[in-house]
């Protein structure tokens, strides 16, 4: 994990809400639900060097950059944080995206990998609330990844192994939500979000 500019915390006085989880735990489903429900939230679109999946579009799910473009923007200091998750596979948070949403008075919402979430919480401190979405079990996580139909068997096992490692970081988050029953998980996420909003007002 690399951090290029810890002083950017000043751009997020309206608050930062961070959701992290192992791949397949359901954090994107939780974040989408919250974004649809609350107009005071603004979604921070991350950048990545991976290829789009399915119907994903540049600027909506991610800013899709080539590895070379990503590296150039790192060198230009365009990222608050970034990580090379696997060799040649980058994810990062653009300063311009956070500044845009903060200027609109939105709580900035991140759907981000676990190490990125920890780093953002460290950068933004009390202006941020971090939430870890926990899968009910490793077997359930494996089933969810397989059901996506976008992963090879080798990729699934690699992600499951990484998930086991990431779960070990869950205690570094402000809240942990176990995504066993989706409706219950969403309700808990709503309560956390509304409480954070009230705290900021």
Task: Decide if 196 is inside a domain.
Answer: yes
Domain with 159 in it: 12-200
Task: Decide if 18 is inside a domain.
Answer: yes
Map tokens 């219950």 to a residue: 184
CATH number of the domain encompassing residue 138: 3.40.50.300
Task: Decide if 4 is inside a domain.
Answer: no
Give Cα separations from 124 to 7, 16, 77, 79 (angstroms): 9, 7, 18, 14
Q: Print pLDDT tens along the chain (201 aa).
A: 444 343 333 333 579 999 999 887 889 999 999 999 999 999 999 999 999 988 899 988 899 999 999 999 999 999 999 988 888 899 999 999 999 999 999 999 999 889 889 999 999 999 999 999 998 888 888 887 888 777 788 888 888 888 889 999 999 999 999 999 999 999 999 999 999 999 988
Task: Decide if 7 is inside a domain.
Answer: no
How far is 105 from 37, CA to CA, in rounded Å? Answer: 17
Closest to 3 (Cα-Cα) out of 80, 73, 77: 80
How far is 120 from 78, CA to CA, in rounded Å? Answer: 15
| Antiparallel, parallel or unpaired: β 175-178 and 79-86 | unpaired
Helix ranges, the chain (H)? 27-37, 67-75, 95-103, 114-124, 138-148, 153-167, 182-200
Predicted structure pTM score: 0.82
How far is 8 from 60, CA to CA, in rounded Å? Answer: 23
């Amino acid at each position: 994990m690399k951090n290029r500019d810890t002083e950017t915390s000043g751009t997020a006085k309206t608050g930062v809400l961070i959701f992290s989880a192992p791949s397949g735990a359901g954090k994107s489903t939780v974040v989408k639900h919250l974004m649809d429900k609350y107009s005071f939230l603004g979604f921070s679109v991350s950048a990545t060097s991976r290829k789009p999946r399915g119907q994903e579009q540049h600027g909506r799910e991610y800013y899709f950059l080539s590895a070379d473009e990503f590296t150039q923007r790192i060198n230009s200091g365009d990222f608050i944080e970034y990580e090379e998750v696997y060799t040649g596979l980058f994810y990062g948070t653009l300063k311009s995206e956070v500044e845009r949403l903060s200027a609109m008075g939105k709580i900035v919402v991140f759907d981000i990998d676990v190490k990125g979430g920890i780093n953002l919480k460290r950068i933004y401190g009390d202006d941020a609330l971090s939430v870890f979405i926990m899968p009910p079990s490793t077997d359930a996580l494996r089933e969810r990844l397989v059901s996506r139909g976008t992963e090879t068997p080798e990729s699934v096992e690699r992600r499951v192994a990484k998930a086991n490692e990431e779960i070990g970081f869950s205690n570094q988050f402000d809240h942990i939500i176990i995504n066993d029953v989706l409706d219950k998980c969403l309700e808990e996420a709503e309560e956390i979000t509304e409480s954070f909003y009230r705290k900021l007002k």
